[in-house]
Structure 1
């Protein structure tokens, strides 16, 4: 079994996700107590995709996250760097243009997309700042970025309980439902080490994004950040 380290070497992370591709969506449902479906609905509302718009869905995995955008009539490109995830996604959703790509070196021209979005994937990128700059580059002027990522609960007592869940309860549950439970130990550690809401907002601004704001979901377990390209 493969487990990435917090150094986030790209080949380690990609291989880890290759290993969990088959049961990835089910495992996420169980570990989040089915809250991930609600979070993705909030992402869809924030993206507000419309017919003829172009949406880039980064870290799309099996492309489950791309389906709500495609349903609006928008042209959505699911992009991921795990070939295992892409193969599983193509098997399930052959009509979507799944694309292999590294978030730090996106294979798209400047000013291509109306919206770039990434859910639960930015913290796994080896260079967060480079990825934010690349997202800015491929977004059209006036376009937006929407980032849904695990964050820091805002109520201190709940934050303590949540941290205990991540490191104690999550691995045993993952062993029951995942094809690679060790991967979820890494994922728990990566959540704990991720910047809080203002920290990520500052990095978005440093990458060039304007009007940066965020909204907490589930008490801050997840935060939805948004920014616009001038």
Structure 2
């Protein structure tokens, strides 16, 4: 089975997610002890979508979040680099527009969306800052971005326990419900290597977004970042 490395070669990342698509949503719920649902709800609240808004849900996986966002009355597109993920979403009846897309070269016109969001996918892009610039390209002036992603706990003793004890356990939790347990070893490694909240905010600002703000969730294990395109 394919296992991506921290160099995040796009083909390896796509093939890895293709291989875990069938059990991906279930594995996420097991690994997060059900918190994945709560994080999606908090992301939806941060998005504050309005009826008729055009929303790009990037790295949408099986479109589980995309379907939930449509409840606001917004028009939402699920985009992902993994065809296996999108096909799994269609197979289980997630009836939203789906587009195969590379975050480095999105197949959308300039200013095509009012909102762009990524939930637990930004850290899998080969170039974080470049992908954030590309997201800004397809969002109109004044449009919004919300990122929900893993982070680094700010309280040092808890961060130590999280990195030394919490992250190594994740692949073990996923093993009984995943078709490719090695993929979750990569996911745990990528979580450990990901920057903290302020560092990610600085990357977002360098990519051209303004009004960057963040909110830690669950003691900083996860964080929401919000920004506006000038």
TM-score, length basis structure 1: 0.97
Q: Please tell me whether the aligned partners of residues 77 and 99 of structure 1 are also in contact (alpha carbons under 8 angstroms).
A: yes
- Unaligned 5+ residue runs, structure 2? none
Matches within 5 A, 1:165-180: 165-180=165-180
Q: Cα deviation per residue 1:125-178 (whole Å; 9 max; x = unaligned)? A: 011111000110001111111000000112112112211334431122121111
Distance in 1 (CA, whole Å) between partners of 2:142 and 2:124 is 27
Q: Is the 8 A contact 1:63 1:93 kept in 2?
A: no
Where 1:96 maps in the other structure, the secondary structure is: coil
The runs of at least 4 consecutive aligned structure 1 residues that moved more than 3 Å come to: none
Give distance in 2, aligned partners of 1:207 and 1:105. 15
Superposition pairs for residues 26-105 of structure 1, below 5 Å? 26-105=26-105
Q: 1:175 to 1:94 in 2, by over 3 A?
A: closer
CA contact (8 A) 2:167 2:192 kept: no
**Residue in 2 that maps onto 1:142:** 142
Shift of 1:210: 0.4
Q: Are the aligned partners of 1:80 and 1:86 in contact in 2 as well (CA < 8 Å)?
A: yes
CA drift of 1:20 comes to 0.4
What RMSD over aligned residues (CA atoms) do the two structures have, in Å?
1.0
Query: What is the 5 A alignment of 1:218-229?
Result: 218-229=218-229
Residues 17-59 of structure 1: CA distance to partner in whole angstroms, max 9, x if unpaired? 0000001000000101111111110000011112110000000
Gaps of 5+ in 1: none
Mapped contact 1:144–1:226 kept (Cα < 8 A)? yes
Is 1:113 the counterpart of 2:113? The answer is yes
Could you state the TM-score of these two structures normalised by the residue count of structure 2? 0.97
